[in-house]
């Protein structure tokens, strides 16, 4: 089987997107684990594609591009029309605005940056989602240790936003963010980076519930 080459894959899909959408294309970029340099062999590539206007026919054409690629299963991400992204809830675009790597166009020309209040809303909303998800996983999932992986993934994005609110600095990677945290936030992210299998699973869930609850109620 042919070895996956991220840079070649990215170049190929970008050319195909440009050739397909031409003047209707405003932006191509990517974010996520490949942007942060944290991708594993099974990681998705979180593409960002923005068109001047997007119809369902455009979506069908984009699907054809994805399916024409080697390793089509790698492609994931965000596609939007201009008016939709301009009117998107600002509390939902924090990572999209600060993390996306430009390939064609400039994401910051198309998106108004979220305000501090928008980011506070994002921290609270994501913490509420995490709180519910942790309770649900502990009560109902057959493998609560395995269920910790997606729960801990949510933590990183909450901590990125919390740290930005405190310092005005966007920290791209888990490693760098961990070096800047202290106290409970530091301990929670350490667990997220490497799940401590030597600790009782109930303790890990208890910590997560308490941490999410604190963020929900501030």
pLDDT at 103 > cutoff 70 = yes
Confidence (pLDDT) at 190: 94
The strand pair at 45-51 and 75-81 is best described as: parallel
| CB 161 within 8 Å of CB 99 | no
The pLDDT tens digits of the residues spanning 48-71 come to 999 999 999 999 999 999 999 999
Sorted by sequence, the CB contacts under 8 Å of residue 32 that are 6+ apart come out as 39, 43, 44, 45, 46, 76, 77, 99
Strand residues in 35-181 grouped as ranges (E): 45-51, 75-81, 101-104
Widest pairwise Cα distance in the chain: 56
Name the residue among 145, 137, 142, 140 with its Cα closest to residue 196: 145
pLDDT at 132 > cutoff 90 = yes
The answer, as to whether pTM is greater than 0.95, is: no
Mean pLDDT of 83-111: 95
Q: How confident is the model at residue 214 (pLDDT cuts 50, 70, 90)?
A: very high
Burial 88-123, CB ≥16 within 10 A → b, else e: bebbebbbbbbbbeebebebeebbeebeeebbbbbb
Confidence (pLDDT) at 216: 87
Percent of the chain with pLDDT over 90: 88
Confidence (pLDDT) at 115: 96
Which secondary structure element, helix H or strand E, spans residue 98, and what is its range?
A: helix 94-99
Mean pLDDT of 127-140: 95
Q: CA-to-CA distance for 51 and 163, rounded, in angstroms?
A: 32
The pLDDT tens digits of the residues spanning 159-204 come to 999 999 999 999 999 999 999 999 999 999 999 999 888 889 999 9
Q: CA-to-CA distance for 165 and 198, rounded, in angstroms?
A: 33
The pLDDT tens digits of the residues spanning 21-43 come to 999 999 999 999 999 999 998 99
Q: CA-to-CA distance for 196 and 191, rounded, in angstroms?
A: 6
pLDDT at 212 > cutoff 80 = yes
* Domain range list for the chain: 6-110, 116-216
Tokens read off for 169: 């600095």
pLDDT at 137 > cutoff 70 = yes
- CATH domain 6-110 topology: Beta Polymerase; domain 2 (3.30.460)
- The phi and psi torsions of 158 (rounded to 5 degrees) equal -65, -45
Q: How confident is the model at residue 1 (pLDDT cuts 50, 70, 90)?
A: low
Sorted by sequence, the CB contacts under 8 Å of residue 172 that are 6+ apart come out as 35, 36, 99
Confidence (pLDDT) at 88: 94
| CA distances for 217 relative to 120, 131, 156, 214, angstroms | 12, 11, 19, 5
Mean pLDDT of 205-209: 94
Confidence (pLDDT) at 2: 75
């Amino acid at each position: 089987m042919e070895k996956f080459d991220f840079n070649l894959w990215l170049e190929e899909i970008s050319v195909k997107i440009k050739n397909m959408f031409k003047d209707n294309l405003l932006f191509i970029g990517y974010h996520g684990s490949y942007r942060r340099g944290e991708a594993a062999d099974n990681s998705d590539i979180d593409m960002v594609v923005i068109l001047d206007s997007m119809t369902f026919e455009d979506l069908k054409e984009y699907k054809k591009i994805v399916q024409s690629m080697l390793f089509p299963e790698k492609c994931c991400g965000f596609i939007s029309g201009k008016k939709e992204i301009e009117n998107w809830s600002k509390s939902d675009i924090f990572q999209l605005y600060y993390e996306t790597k430009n390939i064609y166009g400039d994401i910051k020309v198309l998106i108004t940056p979220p305000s501090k209040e928008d980011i506070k809303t994002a921290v609270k909303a994501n913490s509420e989602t995490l709180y519910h998800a942790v309770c649900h996983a502990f009560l109902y999932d057959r493998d609560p240790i395995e269920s910790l992986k997606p729960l801990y993934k949510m933590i990183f994005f909450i901590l990125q936003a919390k740290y930005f609110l405190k310092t005005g600095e966007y920290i791209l990677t888990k490693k760098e963010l961990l070096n800047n945290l202290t106290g409970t936030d530091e301990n929670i992210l350490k667990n997220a980076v490497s799940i401590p299998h030597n600790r009782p699973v109930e303790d890990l869930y208890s910590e997560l519930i308490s941490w999410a609850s604190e963020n929900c109620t501030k």
